[in-house]
Amino acid sequence: MGNLFGTDGIRGTANEDPMTPEMAVKAGKAIAFYFSEKYRTDNNKKGIVVGRDTRISGPMLENALVSGISSMGVDAYLTGVLPTPGIAHMVLVEKAFAGIVISASHNPYFDNGIKIFDGNGFKLSDKSETKIENLILGEQNKHLNKGIKKTGKIFKIKNPCNKYVTFLKHSVPNGFSLNKIKIILDCANGAVFQTAPKIFKELGADVESMFIEPDGVNINANCGSEHPDALKRKVVEKGADIGLAFDGDGDRLIAIDENGMKASGDQIIAVCANHLKKQNKLKNNKVVTTVMSNMGLGAVLKKLDIHHTASKVGDRYVMEMMKSEGAALGGEDSGHMIFLDHHTTGDGILAALKLLGAVVVDQKPLSRLLKIMDIFPQELINVEVKSKPEIDTVSAIMDAINTAESALEKKGRVLVRYSGTQPICRVMVEGPSEDETKKYCEMIADAVRKNLA
């Protein structure tokens, strides 16, 4: 990848390069140029859908992006605040040739980002992102709109929230009901603050919602999928059947069982895979996750006789492998889950509906369903770094990794990688015991701090 795009679009601190209005104008021009050329002969495609989460910098970047888009003679269709998967869906509804999401997902409010969907609602390949990046950063950007006198128009999409909720309802069987299910929602003061309460209530659940008062700076602040402690307490306090936590843009899900225990993305995938297989709905008997998935997930899928493959980290890489493998279920332990028979991207609300489907059909509490998977002891340490050299070129870090791998042998594993969206090195170790796992993870993390922090 180049200088702009990481594992999930362009991301950075708002009002600092590259998340500036000036760069957003360039991005709008480049994205409009790229996709108008790509779909030049398709008369059924028109314009670009633009949506955002609840960050205070969202409208600023939205206005800049739309200025760039319209300067290219391309129309922009605005959703306003809507979850990322909702914006992907609106690309199909509006027959647009692209969609842009202004969001930094689970990051703090002062960050923001730009994610792009193609005209079919899928995230872009590395190749496409590289071409767009060259159009953004190249000298030709200032000339892309030269001679265009008929600029694009700007439209507000009517009732995007209702359209997205209707779409989600089509993902569950006719007559599906959440009657007598008590749910606590943690909406992260983010993009799902309207849609999530609406759909679960309309499906008959007893719903109590937390963190549904976004003010631009409280998105993900001690709430949401990254910080579920308040949700855990509320589930136990209210005697709820389940807690559902989403991230700021609504493409991640973390669940809390009736005892206040957290269910990771891997555990949710295991429950859903088992449920789909029992219903003969697990396409090609395959599941795709990433190299970060817990070894326990691989063990349970093997026990269930489900074919399991692992991609690079990033939900778009999961999607690419799902398409190549012919799989309909995939995701990440972080909470991204993709149900390809229903949607083109990860969707936290959709994943919650599928998980609840297993609860309703099996008539068992979530804690019972989660017992299908044994979690291997795992330690993850995030180390802030000042630079990101190739890990295998830093001898001190490699020595620590080799020491840990030799000690663990085949009873565990080590994974050290940089975040694609933050200045962080992630050190993950799995092993036969919590003590060993923690010891070797701290040893490697210490080597990273001494050499890169």
What is the domain count for the chain? 4
Q: Is the pLDDT of residue 1 over 70?
A: no
Considering just the CA atoms, what is the radius of gyration of the chain in Å?
22
**Same domain, residue pair 18 and 135:** yes
Q: Any residues with CB less than 8 A from the CB of 57 and at least 6 apart, and which?
A: 14, 15, 19, 110, 112
Residue 384: which of 440, 452, 301, 288 has the closest Cα? Answer: 452
| Higher pLDDT pick, 410 / 252 | 252
Average pLDDT over residues 314-336: 94
| Higher pLDDT pick, 422 / 339 | 339
Catalytic residues: 105
Q: Which of 370, 404, 423 lies at the terminal end of a domain, its last residue?
A: 370
**Same domain, residue pair 244 and 326:** no
Average pLDDT over residues 48-53: 98
Q: Given this model, what pLDDT does residue 292 score?
A: 87
Residue 430: which of 445, 415, 449 has the closest Cα? Answer: 415
Average pLDDT over residues 145-156: 96
pTM: 0.90
- Rounded mean pLDDT of the chain? 95
Q: Is the pLDDT of residue 249 over 50?
A: yes
Q: Given this model, what pLDDT does residue 154 score?
A: 98
Q: Tell me, yes or no, whether 171 lies in a domain.
A: no
**Same domain, residue pair 413 and 383:** yes
Q: Given this model, what pLDDT does residue 427 score?
A: 96
**Same domain, residue pair 86 and 152:** yes
Q: Is the pLDDT of residue 63 over 60?
A: yes
Q: Given this model, what pLDDT does residue 355 score?
A: 98
Average pLDDT over residues 92-117: 97
Say which CATH number the domain at 312 has.
Answer: 3.40.120.10
Q: Is the pLDDT of residue 6 over 90?
A: no
Coil, strand or helix at 77: strand
Q: Tell me, yes or no, whether 313 lies in a domain.
A: yes
Range of the domain at 100: 5-158
pLDDT band at residue 2 using 50, 70 and 90 as cut-offs: low
Of 123-132, 344-353, 417-426, the one with minimum mean pLDDT is 417-426
Q: Which of 311, 337, 370 lies at the terminal end of a domain, its last residue?
A: 370
What's the helix, strand, coil split of the chain in %, to 5? Answer: 40, 20, 40
